Amino acid sequence: MNTLDRQTAPDQAARERMKASHDLDGDAVRLAHLYRGWASAFDQDQARVGYCGPLIVAELAGAVQTAYLAGQRNAIAILDAGCGTGLVGVELERLGFRLIDGFDLSEEMAEKARQTGVYRHARGYVDLNGQLSDYPSASYDLTVCCGVLTLGHVRPDGLRELARVTRPNGFVIASTRKSYAETTFFEDQVRCLQDEGVLLPAQCLSNGRYVAEEDAHYWVFRVPEKVSAPTDERP
């Protein structure tokens, strides 16, 4: 008997809610509506589907900070993009990070994140498929994004804004469910962003555990130093 055969009715319902969220084609109104109704059961559902993305993303953030970022961990400014109910923030706090901000499309999910008490602020109604206009450039040392670059949610181009709000030589860490990476030609999109100097792939944990039914890739991108734009002035 395999894991799926042993599923109870609540396990099956959790999988169906997850699948429904993948079928919304990035439609912000429908996504916000779905997550409004899901916020109170989300954490329990994620335990049922074996979601371990938040733990892996937070541990990658810890490793990247130790390996590459000067200064104390508790002084590293982190943005948790699409923070949901705060599962990533809780893991980050457990690892010693203290300056954690979050945002989410869904106000109800962001409210759950605020209730964890680990975020400085967690804003709702922020859409990563658009401009993060309330977030100045180069504000964060690290930006994490778990379970958001996924089917029916945010397009790979969302990485542009994540890179913009992260400081030069800072890092963006993101999960991509395998089927999302394949259907969005994620690696090709990353190559375009690299050619444009938006970000540089630094590491990838391929085919890591994510949910029971599917693995994910976990990406670490470095934000390059900005090359100053050429001017028209000639000597």
Task: List residues near ligand SAM by CB under 6 A.
Answer: 28, 31, 35, 53-54, 82-84, 87-88, 104-106, 109, 126-129, 146-148, 153-154
Minimum distance of ligand SAM from residue 81's CB (angstroms): 7
Largest Cα separation within the chain, whole Å, is 76
- Nearer Cβ to ligand SAM, position 64 or 81? 81
212: its two tokens: 């029971």
149: its two tokens: 């670059």
Give the pairing of strands 77-81 and 99-103.
parallel
Distance CA 39, CA 177 (A): 21
Minimum distance of ligand SAM from residue 39's CB (angstroms): 8
Q: Report residue 14 CA to chain centroid gap.
A: 21
Minimum distance of ligand SAM from residue 234's CB (angstroms): 44
Q: What is the CA radius of gyration of the chain?
A: 18
Minimum distance of ligand SAM from residue 212's CB (angstroms): 15
- Nearer Cβ to ligand SAM, position 113 or 199? 113
Minimum distance of ligand SAM from residue 66's CB (angstroms): 22
Report the residue closest to ligand SAM, judged by CB: 84
**Is the Cβ–Cβ distance between 105 and 128 less than 8 Å?**
yes
- Nearer Cβ to ligand SAM, position 102 or 170? 102
Strand ranges across the sheet with 99-103: 121-123, 99-103, 77-81, 140-145, 166-177, 214-222, 200-211
Minimum distance of ligand SAM from residue 56's CB (angstroms): 10
Distance CA 28, CA 118 (A): 26
213: its two tokens: 């039914």
- Nearer Cβ to ligand SAM, position 148 or 190? 148
- Nearer Cβ to ligand SAM, position 28 or 95? 28
- Nearer Cβ to ligand SAM, position 115 or 169? 115
